[in-house]
Amino acid sequence: MDKEVRSYEYKPSKTWWLGNRRYALYMVRELSGFAVAVYGFIFLAQLFTLSQGPLAYDALLGVLLSPAGILLSTILLVFAIFHSLTWFDLTAKVQPPSMKGKPVPRKIVVTGTIIIWLFISYFVAVFIFRVG
Amino acid sequence: MASQKTIKIRVKRYIPEKAEEPFYSEYDVPYSEDMVVLDALNYIKDNLDGSLSFRWSCRMGVCGSCSANVDGKPKLTCSSFLKESKGDSILVEPLSHFRTIKDLVVEIDVFVKKLKSIKPWIIRNEEKPIADGEYLQTPEQRDLIKQTSMCINCMLCYEACPVFDMDNDFIGPAAAAISYRSVMDSRDDGAKERLDILTSKHGVWDCTYIGECSVVCPKAVDPALAIQKLKAMGGISIIKSLLPKKK
């Protein structure tokens, strides 16, 4: 018969993520995902008010263009950029493309994807501002 | 005669017969440039305190038995040199994501069960007769599994994984890396079977890709990467199983 062995279980502290830079960055990455979700919610709210007519849309736009709205947008933008950068970094790790049977160095993949992202963002921005 | 240089080794102890809670013991150990933490622990055991308990075997980073937290970082004590320590003392603690039985000895059943669950052996649909010889691989096929084959089951990756700390049921880095090795093995026919296990509850989906498991691995295995690849394979396998089967 198995004899019960006494053992001790360590409980994780609430600040476990502060002792290691990578854990802390991970927590910021997860938090930035929440910021992206908030941005998505605002975008959906914009679409909804647009369907309700110009009055509703202008009211929401007024809130978004207030000092508090601009501050919120700025914070969300910083987090969204950080979140996007971490994803480019992860993508290069998870699915490294190979050329002539050899994996392309991670730095090249990350830099390349960021350049493509900025290039596309530039054309999207030009399109939006010209149409706007 | 110059006195022998010493270094302080601070060890987190747990002796259930003596105290309910862990406590620390300090030992002054003779220091030399070529000593590793395991040497210091063995010196303590042989000369200062025979009651100190810890696991070890090969002394050369192969068996994976001597894992512990050295100065707060998950390491093999046989590969951690005393000279790497920045302070004038070294803190040695047990792996905290596993239950401590005594001092630096932890309960490893939780890991062994995970290892067994992913069937870390070659699964064949049909065995060929012994007379037909070995199952051969090309160097390219071997390269696909070389890195994950280096895993020594030291469990340092589990110590580095906060997800495992929060949920002991999570399959975890080493078991997943070893699964990846089997799934990618050209001689193995058990990919579907293993992916079903890995994509079930507490499988690879629980991994949030913190990546610290790969950082602490003493054998340069990349379990975090293996898990992400298994997620991609598992996703494809699930989609395939939902598609109508060809008659």
C-alpha to C-alpha distance for B105 and B130, rounded to whole angstroms: 42
The count of other CB atoms within 10 Å of the CB of residue A48 is 12
Q: Which domain holds residue A75?
A: 16-95
Answer yes or no: do B16 and A6 touch at CB < 8 A. yes
CATH number, domain B109-242: 1.10.1060.10
Asked if B100's CB is within 8 angstroms of A7's CB, the reply is yes
Q: Is residue A1's pLDDT more than 50?
A: no
* Interchain contact B235–A (C-beta under 8 A): no
Please check whether residue A106 lies inside any domain of the structure.
no
**Interface touch A26/B99, C-beta < 8 Å:** no
Q: Is the model's pLDDT at A2 over the cut of 60? A: no
Tell whether A23 is covered by a domain: yes
CA dist B227 and B222 (Å) reads 9
B143 to chain A, any CB pair closer than 8 A? The answer is no
- The ipTM, to two decimals, is 0.79
Q: Give A-chain residues touching B108 at CB under 8 angstroms.
A: none
Q: CA nearest B179: which of B155, B142, B202, B204?
A: B204
CA distances from B81 to B35, B52, B88, B136, B214 (A): 6, 20, 13, 40, 21
d(CA B66, CA B240): 43
Q: How many domains does chain A have?
A: 1
Position A30 pLDDT exceeds 70: yes
Interchain CB distance below 8 Å, B100 and A20: no
- The token duo for B114 is 């995970």
A85 belongs to a structural domain: yes
Q: Which residues contact B174 (CB under 8 A, 6 or more apart)?
A: B111, B115, B151, B153, B155, B157, B158, B223
Which chain B residues are Cβ-neighbours of A9 within 8 angstroms?
A: 99-100
CB contact under 8 A, A10 and B211: no
CA angle B19, B23, B29 (to 5 degrees): 130
Q: Which of A35, A22, A21 is nearest to A81 (CA)?
A: A35
Q: Would residue A56 count as lying in a domain?
A: yes
- Residues from chain A that touch B208, judged by Cβ atoms under 8 A, are 26, 30
Q: What is the pLDDT along chain B (247 residues), one digit of tens a residue?
A: 567 899 999 999 999 999 999 999 999 999 999 999 999 999 999 999 999 999 999 999 999 999 999 999 999 999 999 999 888 899 999 999 999 999 999 999 999 999 999 999 999 999 989 999 999 999 999 999 999 999 999 999 999 999 999 999 999 999 999 999 999 999 999 998 999 999 998 999 999 988 899 999 999 999 999 999 999 999 888 888 888 876 6
Chain-chain contact of A12 with B165 (C-beta, under 8 angstroms) = yes
Return the closest-CA partner of residue A103 out of A90, A92, A118: A92
Instruction: Assign a CATH topology to domain B6-106.
Output: Ubiquitin-like (UB roll) (3.10.20)
Which residues of chain A lie closer than 8 angstroms to B224, CB-CB?
Answer: 93
Whole-number Å distance between alpha carbons of B31 and B82: 8
Residues of chain B with CATH 3.10.20.30: 6-106
In contact, B70 and B91? CB cutoff 8 Å: yes
